[in-house]
């Protein structure tokens, strides 16, 4: 158990819908990262937050957005869902910036039908 | 941009034997971190081992060790005394050490699927 929690574990929804994925980092960790794992794209970085502020963006679609709240939990919002958005979405956390190891949550498996 | 290449999509090993998984990376940076993560069928991403580029000594964690060749940009993982529970996808990952305004994302390879035969 990494100490990072993600809910829900599984999500099935239809095209065009909007979903929210939630992540709670390890106690004391200030940085949260979101990654997408799909069969064709592999593991890809989406976005990073540090202590409530966006720090870096990766290959995140405009239909996707995220935020980190004062209690440091984070949410990833996916809207206007398409079949291709079906993937495993991971949240990871680290203590801060500068070399700390990222610990991953169990992931949310999203299936868009 | 940094890239990570794992040239072995699949590997197999007999229980109790040793196996080495390959990883190469491309970067122009001199300071960075390298990781091996394991993803068993549960799909959880589990850290196996970490290496700082400035350290010449190869990292070791119990039965897991790395062969870090900085000049060759190579970072292989050796698993000794393989166990059935080692069966998983193994991902090599790179992370910059630069923290000023840059992304601290992990860049992953495509993974190597390791099968352990009893």
Give the mean pLDDT per block of 10 residues along chain A (113 residues): 94 97 95 93 92 90 96 97 97 80 95 97
Q: Indicate if the pLDDT at residue B29 is higher than 70.
A: yes
Question: Chain A within 8 Å of B55 (Cβ-Cβ)?
Answer: no
Identify the pLDDT of residue B78: 98
Dist. CA A109–CA B114, nearest whole Å:
23
Contact A97, A79 (CB under 8 A): no
Q: How far is A94 from chain B (nearest CA, A)?
A: 10
Per-residue pLDDT tens digits for B57-109: 999 999 999 999 999 999 999 999 999 999 999 999 999 877 666 678 899 99
Answer whether B106 touches A (CB < 8 Å).
yes
Percent of chain B with pLDDT over 90: 83
Give the chain B residue nearest A55 (alpha carbons). Answer: B103
The shortest C-alpha distance from B98 to chain A (Å) reads: 7
> Cβ–Cβ of B47/A109 closer than 8 Å?
no
| Percent of chain B that is helix, strand, coil (3-state, to 5) | 5, 50, 45
Q: How confident is the model at residue B30 (pLDDT cuts 50, 70, 90)?
A: confident
For residue A100, the model assigns a pLDDT of: 77
Determine the average pLDDT of the residues in B7-34.
95
Inspect the interface and report whether the beta carbons of B33 and A99 lie closer than 8 Å: yes
The whole-number pLDDT of residue A19 equals: 98
The reported pLDDT for the residue numbered B56 is 86
């Amino acid at each position: 158990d990494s100490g990072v929690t993600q809910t829900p574990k599984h999500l099935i929804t239809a095209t065009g819908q909007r979903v929210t994925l939630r992540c709670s980092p390890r106690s004391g960790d200030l940085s949260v990262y979101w990654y997408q794992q799909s069969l064709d794209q592999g593991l890809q970085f989406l976005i990073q937050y540090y202590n409530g502020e966006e720090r870096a963006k990766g290959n995140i679609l405009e239909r996707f957005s995220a935020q980190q709240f004062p209690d440091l939990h984070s949410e990833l919002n996916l809207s206007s869902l398409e079949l291709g958005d079906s993937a495993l979405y991971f949240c990871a956390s680290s203590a801060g910036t500068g070399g700390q190891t990222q610990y991953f949550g169990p992931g949310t498996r999203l299936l868009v039908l | 941009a940094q890239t990570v290449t794992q040239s072995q999509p699949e590997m197999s090993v007999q229980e109790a034997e040793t196996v080495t998984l390959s990883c190469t990376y491309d970067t122009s940076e001199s300071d960075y971190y390298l990781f091996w993560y394991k993803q068993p069928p549960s799909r959880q991403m589990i850290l196996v081992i970490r290496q700082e580029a400035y350290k010449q000594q190869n990292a070791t964690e119990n039965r897991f060790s790395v062969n870090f060749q900085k000049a060759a940009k190579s970072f292989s993982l050796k698993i000794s005394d393989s166990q059935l529970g080692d069966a998983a996808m193994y991902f090599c990952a790179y992370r910059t050490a630069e923290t000023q305004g840059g992304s601290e994302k992990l860049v992953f390879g495509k993974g190597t699927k390791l099968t352990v035969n009893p």
